[in-house]
Amino acid sequence: MEKTINVNGLCKAYHGVPAVRDISFSVKSGEIYGLLGENGAGKSTILECLLGTRRPDAGSAEILGMDPLRERKRLFQKTGVQFQEPYYPDRIRVNELCEETASLYQKAENYEKLLEQFGLADKADSMVSALSGGQKQRLFIVLALIPGPQVVFLDELTTGLDAKARRAVWKHLSDLREKGLTILLTSHFMDEVSVLCDRIAMLKNGRIIFEGTVEGAVKRSPHDTLEDAYLWFMEQEEV
């Protein structure tokens, strides 16, 4: 299966303090790949290097065969991004924000259809600032899907959603994967990771301490659930 994302020997330090240390992994086309780790483990830095908003000190990152730094404009048309804490103007309506986002892409999806799929059709004329936390989170996922991307990056995608809304989002993402969409996500919710991710990488102090399937992580630990296995991995001394 074709590799959509390829990271090789990625390193990045801030003021001499390593944030990412020799990270290598690849993500296949149509796969959901999860980056797990505590705050400060290096997840955001990896995403920034992949998106071309941060230049690594060493190593390389490639998406769809393109260098995010040299071919960022071309890559922009083929990727969607949902950040954990995005910022948008207070005085803008949902439909205005969607239309503005769609105008940036050559082949944008029908945002009205996406709003309906994510239960936001009745909020199209509402101010973004008036949405609840969960509604905003769903809107940000819609914005990430407007480009009709081949690859989507989702940072803590269901934070603020109730159980019903989270499961609805999982269903949408699973359906998109079946259609060939590649998804790289970060999450602190192990139930979400267990349901969605084909493979995961656990990060600690900027290094990958486990890579493989959810089942593989559980088998490597003395526990029976991913949450307990994850905590066990985080407590182990680095080799």
- According to the model, what pLDDT value does residue 82 have? 84
Give residues with Cβ within 8 angstroms of 154, minimum separation 6: 82, 141, 144, 183, 184, 185, 186
pTM score: 0.90
Tally of CA atoms within 13 A in the half-sphere of 198 that contains its CB: 16
From first to last of its 239 residues, the chain has per-residue pLDDT tens of 578 999 999 999 999 999 999 999 999 999 999 999 998 899 989 999 999 999 999 999 999 999 999 998 899 999 999 876 667 777 899 999 999 999 999 889 999 999 998 889 999 999 999 988 778 888 988 999 999 999 999 988 777 778 888 888 888 888 889 989 999 999 889 999 999 999 999 999 999 999 999 999 999 999 999 999 999 999 985 54
Q: Strand 151-155 and strand 182-186: pairing?
A: parallel
Domain boundaries, the chain: 3-78+150-235, 89-148
C-beta separation of 177 from 202 below 8 A: no
- According to the model, what pLDDT value does residue 167 have? 87
Q: Which residues of 33-50 are buried (b: 16+ CB within 10 A; e: fewer)?
A: bbbbbeeebbbbbbbbbb
SS3 at position 70: coil
| CATH architecture group of domain 3-78+150-235 | 3-Layer(aba) Sandwich (3.40)
Strands (E), the chain: 3-14, 17-28, 32-37, 58-63, 79-82, 151-155, 182-186, 199-204, 207-212
- According to the model, what pLDDT value does residue 239 have? 43
